[in-house]
């Protein structure tokens, strides 16, 4: 039997073009969102407890995503009527209205994004794709079905990507609450000896290769 080829988008790749059906109508990705950051996250199945907590969690962060100019999109291989019914259930039973579109994917779409991992069953894994305004994949996360995601980390990662893009800096571990330099950002390494010699005269730091500044 022919083995299934699994495609997994790499950082810096163009997000695969696809026409999709969603709970808010048809969409062309990434074309319809050109000029905007977006986060697409997949879930294994509708009407499952971990996925339900994740949908509520992402919706609770909607204001933060909107403040960053980020669109949010859900996805699984369930049919669109299942998505609609599940969203109704979440509103009726939990009092949370899901305002982002949810894609009804098929195996072809899921395979384009590397979301079907044979060793983890036939459902899509919990994937997160952060895509920039140019349609480039900037961050990819894959979680197994049994572990729910941390929405604060998704928000933090998008915020860090925007900060690094806009300021040509890097962010430290656990930014903006790093144990060494708090909410400061890291200056890119010097590219020549002259710059290295001047670095600590211009910036604070532990050495010329580890300098930082206020944002």
Distance CA 209, CA 107 (A): 46
The pLDDT, as a whole number, for residue 2 is 41
- pLDDT per position as a tens digit, 159-206: 999 999 999 999 999 999 999 999 999 999 899 999 999 999 999 999
Q: How far apart are CA 60 and CA 37, in angstroms?
A: 18
pTM of the entire predicted model = 0.90
Q: Is the peptide bond before 63 cis (omega within 30 degrees of 0)?
A: no
The 8-class DSSP code of residue 166 comes to: H
Q: In this predicted structure, which of 19-23, 112-116, 167-171 has the lowest mean pLDDT?
A: 112-116
Angle at 104 between CA 100 and CA 109, to 5 degrees: 115
Give residue 20's Cα distance to chain centre.
Answer: 19
What phi, psi does 42 have (nearest 5°)? -105, 155
Q: Where in the chain is the domain with CATH 3.40.30.10?
A: 18-148
Which of the residues are catalytic?
A: 51
Quote the CA–CA distance of 159 and 65 in Å, as a whole number: 9
Q: Mean pLDDT check: name the lowest of 50-54, 70-74, 80-84, 120-124.
A: 120-124
- CATH fold of 168-215 reads Antioxidant, Horf6; Chain A, domain 2 (3.30.1020)
Residues in the chain: 215
A 10 A CB-CB count for 169 gives: 17
Alpha-carbon torsion angle 29, 30, 31, 34, nearest 10: 150
Does CATH number 3.40.30.10 belong to domain 18-148?
yes
| Domain limits, CATH 3.30.1020.10, in the chain | 168-215
H helix intervals, the chain: 49-60, 62-67, 80-89, 107-112, 151-167, 193-202
């Amino acid at each position: 039997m022919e083995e299934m080829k699994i495609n997994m988008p790499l950082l810096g790749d163009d997000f695969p073009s696809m026409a999709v059906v969603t709970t808010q109508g048809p969409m062309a990705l990434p074309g319809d969102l050109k000029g905007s950051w977006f986060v697409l996250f997949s879930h294994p199945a509708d009407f499952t407890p971990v996925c339900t907590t994740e949908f509520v969690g992402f919706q609770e962060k909607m204001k933060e995503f909107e403040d960053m100019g980020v669109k949010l999109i859900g996805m699984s291989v369930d049919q669109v009527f299942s998505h609609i019914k599940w969203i109704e259930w979440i509103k009726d039973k939990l009092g949370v209205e899901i305002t982002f579109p949810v894609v009804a994917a098929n195996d072809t779409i899921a395979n384009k994004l590397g979301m079907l991992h044979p060793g983890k069953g036939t459902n899509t894994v919990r994937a997160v794709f952060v895509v920039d305004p140019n349609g480039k994949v900037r961050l990819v996360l894959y979680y197994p079905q049994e572990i729910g995601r941390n929405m604060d980390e998704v928000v933090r990662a998008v915020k860090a990507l925007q900060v690094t893009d806009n300021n040509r800096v890097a962010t430290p571990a656990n930014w903006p609450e790093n144990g060494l330099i708090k909410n400061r950002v890291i200056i890119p390494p010097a590219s020549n000896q002259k710059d290295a010699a001047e670095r600590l005269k211009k910036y604070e730091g532990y050495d010329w290769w580890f300098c930082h500044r206020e944002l």
